[in-house]
Structure 1
């Protein structure tokens, strides 16, 4: 196990840590951004399986949130407002009339305190920050700790911890775009995917939850059996169409002790398995990507990558029956998502 630290010309720090199996991960203290996850294919060729920009400056005002830590609340909050304990809170409206991914100055724009670590069995970085009362409009002063850890089982473990002095909404995630072809050689349309979910959240034309939780049965959202993404991404289903010919939807996980998500690329032989303590996940298939975004691998294109945003549901702030994003005062927030890389 090894970790290296580099000071970039713009003052940010980059941390690169690796295991003994050929996996190397690079992250920034700016936004906790993951810029590279380099993993071997079935022939041993090591390539980056997350999308990253050609230039670091592109991360400063990134509408795609490439690789970033997201908070306080991942996803869209309807009307950039919510009521809690009889009080109305107004949030940053940075997505039309709604608040997206924590608002104008979300956790993706923070310089995090970073403490690298390594041992004989793991290596990584602990990121910490303080979010003051009413930052982004959210109540409570919150202490945040996020740990990125890589081990020799080819597991990349992300631990999220927080504690607040007031009741407040919080659901943290990471917004990496995965593409197992390596260096984004091909769009993710030929990837095969399996999700342990039988329900998804219906969206309106502004990508805001309607309040309906729908069955996946007999829809393109039924990914309980391994499915090549090309078919559902080309569907004429109204929910696929309104999201820009793809997914931007919250899947509620079934109770299971197995991995909730499996992603596989036939050509490279790479496999990604995701296990999380979160109740669900937003699957976003890069529907808004285009060649105006210059990746390290070249111009982006639609469906260049997909996000696996494990989290609670911001719809719970306005509708009953959704996985709650509410954190009680002085109650610890502890969530873990594990990404396991393999080949076949």
Structure 2
């Protein structure tokens, strides 16, 4: 079947077991270009214009499958651009109890399970199908996570829809159904640098989070159930604030996480006519680029790339050093299976998991 003119498929390499991997290049009416691979649902690149009309790639990642499969990447495992599941963020002790049974997960973050364990959805090959609709074009990725995969119960059928809109937005819609009760918490793990990937750090990016509270963590970055106000702390991003403005403050939470790596509790403001509420805004003054995030989720994990250490080199050939990019992972809260006061994440048979997040791209006026 031939593809629409604005969608191109190309080979992206071969997995060790011989399965071929593809890359899909999608452009919108403004020339914004999205490249996605069916391996891990990874967003490989996202090119958007600055205030002068110059297009730059604003997400961290690589140009080859070999880089994503390399031992160096697997050891660091920053999840560049990947789909995350079954459970985004951490589950303490890599276990949980459900309906009287204890389930042991794969521990891949010390004693804890992070981003679905191993294999997580980021290391799986997905079925890819393209589509075109009135709002834009995109890709539907689907797979079945077998009962017991990475320790999780139930056969989980998952569908994720990437829509690159002609309104200069990228909308990601998640859908899942299960045969047994199981925790589900899906997200996307792109790292953004609005100046362009490989072009310095993001500490002067200004960030707004529509969150008056966050969930503090212990030394293993597991929340204890507290929902703490951000006012008077380095976690107050309720107005646009430079990411690096308060990093030097000796706050216990910044010390524990090595910087920002925390779940923020989104305010309950009224949703728009698509059921989404404002979650975040990022502004980069030099390029003029603006990123706005809206979501149906109750939380957002702000991660400032604390663990990047220059070992990995990106598409421009530059090393990704600390704070080379920031992630804004819309989600339910970490460790929710152990925290009954947090919004629930258990999906039951007969129910449908639905989640949507929209990233909108724009630029400041030349005079701003």
Matched, 1:288 2:292: no
CA distance in 2, matches of 1:154, 1:184: 23
Q: Tell me how far 1:217 sits from its aligned partner.
A: 1.2
User: What secondary structure is seen at the aligned counterpart in 2 of 1:108?
Assistant: helix
- Superposition pairs for residues 137-176 of structure 1, below 5 Å? 137-176=151-190
Q: Quick check: 1:3–1:118 contact (8 Å CA) kept in 2?
A: no
Q: Tell me how far 1:330 sits from its aligned partner.
A: 1.5
Q: Quick check: 1:3–1:117 contact (8 Å CA) kept in 2?
A: no
| 2:268 counterpart residue number | 255
Measured against aligned partners, the alpha-carbon deviations of 1:72-128 in whole angstroms (never above 9, x if no partner) come to 000111000001111111000111111111111010011000001224641110000
Q: Quick check: 2:304–2:327 contact (8 Å CA) kept in 1?
A: yes
Matched, 1:113 2:133: no
Identify unmatched segments of 5+ residues in structure 2: 15-19, 272-276
User: What secondary structure is seen at the aligned counterpart in 2 of 1:193?
Assistant: strand
CA distance in 1, matches of 2:252, 2:329: 22
| 2:106 counterpart residue number | 92
Counterpart of 2:47 (choices 29, 38, 55) is 38
CA distance in 1, matches of 2:114, 2:67: 19
Measured against aligned partners, the alpha-carbon deviations of 1:188-244 in whole angstroms (never above 9, x if no partner) come to 000001011011111111111122221111001111111111112222211011111
- Superposition pairs for residues 229-248 of structure 1, below 5 Å? 229-244=243-258, 246-248=259-261
Which deviates more from structure 2 when the two are superposed, residues 181-190 or residues 215-224? 181-190
| 1:310 counterpart residue number | 330
Length-normalised TM-score, structure 2: 0.91
CA distance in 2, matches of 1:235, 1:329: 47
CA distance in 1, matches of 2:173, 2:133: 18
Q: Quick check: 1:192–1:226 contact (8 Å CA) kept in 2?
A: yes
Identify unmatched segments of 5+ residues in structure 1: none
CA distance in 2, matches of 1:110, 1:49: 24
| 1:63 counterpart residue number | 77
Q: Quick check: 1:49–1:180 contact (8 Å CA) kept in 2?
A: yes
| 1:185 counterpart residue number | 199
Query: Which runs of structure 1 show a deviation greater than 6 angstroms over 4 or more consecutive aligned residues?
Result: none
Q: Tell me how far 1:54 sits from its aligned partner.
A: 4.9
Which deviates more from structure 2 when the two are superposed, residues 81-90 or residues 307-316? 307-316
| 2:17 counterpart residue number | none
Q: Quick check: 2:12–2:37 contact (8 Å CA) kept in 1?
A: no
Q: Quick check: 1:314–1:324 contact (8 Å CA) kept in 2?
A: no
Matched, 1:331 2:351: yes
CA distance in 1, matches of 2:59, 2:345: 27
Measured against aligned partners, the alpha-carbon deviations of 1:260-301 in whole angstroms (never above 9, x if no partner) come to 100000000000000000110111110000111111121111
CA distance in 2, matches of 1:32, 1:243: 27
User: What secondary structure is seen at the aligned counterpart in 1 of 2:212?
Assistant: strand
| 2:7 counterpart residue number | 3
User: What secondary structure is seen at the aligned counterpart in 1 of 2:67?
Assistant: helix
User: What secondary structure is seen at the aligned counterpart in 2 of 1:299?
Assistant: coil
CA distance in 1, matches of 2:125, 2:26: 19
User: What secondary structure is seen at the aligned counterpart in 1 of 2:216?
Assistant: strand
Matched, 1:16 2:29: no
User: What secondary structure is seen at the aligned counterpart in 2 of 1:16?
Assistant: strand
| CA RMSD in angstroms, aligned pairs only | 1.2
Paired residues, number: 343
Q: Quick check: 2:11–2:22 contact (8 Å CA) kept in 1?
A: yes
User: What secondary structure is seen at the aligned counterpart in 2 of 1:136?
Assistant: helix
Which deviates more from structure 2 when the two are superposed, residues 256-265 or residues 294-303? 256-265
Matched, 1:135 2:139: no
